[in-house]
């Protein structure tokens, strides 16, 4: 199921809420389950990766400044508990910023992240800094929490 809030209220934050179930989402590794908390949405900007050796001549132009916040809640499967959580991530270039953190409340794993574009134009002199930023975002997005089987 899903819902959209504040679609007609331009002075308020637009919110899109999803609720869905996915069977066999986690990967098994012995008695461990690996769960990638970034279920939907991708912030990494792959096109900035230099595929050839040509030097970039023009600035990067984002369509707009923006603030995007994701809160993902994953109900832990019965018989498992958290063994290892991702360390919080904080990245800020001044042009763009990204932060994420994980915590557990009862049997719910929560992943909260914020991605903000502060400047529309990124000068060509700062492209490598931007590429490095998105490499770190990609690493965060591909990381997993580790769950272990509860011995009874």
Q: CA 134 to CA 128: how far, in whole Å? A: 10
Q: Is residue 20 part of a domain?
A: no
- The rounded radius of gyration (Å) of the Cα atoms in the chain is 18
Mean pLDDT to the nearest integer, 30-42:
79
Q: Answer whether residue 129 is part of any domain.
A: yes
What is the pLDDT at residue 23? 74
Residue 14 within a domain:
no
In the DSSP assignment, the letter for residue 125 is G
Q: Let me know if residue 26 belongs to a domain.
A: no
Q: Judge whether 72 lies within some domain.
A: yes
Rounded to the nearest angstrom, the gap between the alpha carbon of residue 141 and the centroid of all alpha carbons in its chain is 5
The pLDDT of residue 50 is 60
| pLDDT per residue as tens digits for the range 43-76 | 666 556 665 567 778 888 999 999 999 888 888 8
Place of tokens 């637009």: 14
Residue 3 forms part of a structural domain: no
Model pLDDT for residues 97-110, shown as the tens digit of each residue: 999 999 999 999 99
d(CA 24, CA 52) in angstroms, rounded, equals: 38
Residue 120: pLDDT band with limits 50, 70, 90: very high
Whether the pTM exceeds 0.85: the reply is no
**Exposed, middle or buried: residue 17 (CB in 10 Å: 0-12, 13-18, 19+)?**
exposed
Counted domains in the chain: 1
Residue 100 maps to which CATH number? 2.60.120.1130
- What is the span of the domain harbouring residue 37? 32-149
Taking each continuous run of H as one helix and of E as one strand, the counts in the chain are 1, 12
Provide the 8-state DSSP code for 55: P
Q: Count Cβ atoms within 10 A of the Cβ of residue 108 and give its class: 0-12 exposed, 13-18 middle, 19 or more buried.
A: exposed
pLDDT of residue 26: 78
């Amino acid at each position: 199921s899903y819902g959209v809030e504040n679609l007609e209220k331009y002075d308020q934050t637009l919110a899109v809420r999803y609720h869905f179930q996915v069977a066999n989402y986690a990967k098994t590794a012995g008695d461990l389950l690996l769960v990638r908390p970034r279920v939907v949405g991708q912030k990494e900007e792959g096109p900035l990766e230099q595929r050839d050796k040509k030097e970039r001549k023009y600035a990067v132009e984002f369509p707009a400044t923006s603030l995007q916040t994701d809160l993902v809640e994953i109900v832990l499967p019965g018989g498992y508990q958290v063994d290892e959580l991702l360390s919080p991530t904080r990245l800020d270039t001044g042009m763009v910023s990204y932060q994420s953190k994980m915590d557990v409340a009862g049997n719910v794993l929560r992943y909260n992240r914020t991605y903000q574009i502060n400047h529309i134009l990124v000068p060509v002199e700062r492209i490598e800094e931007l590429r490095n930023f998105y490499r770190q975002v990609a690493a965060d997005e591909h990381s997993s929490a580790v769950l272990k089987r509860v011995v009874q």
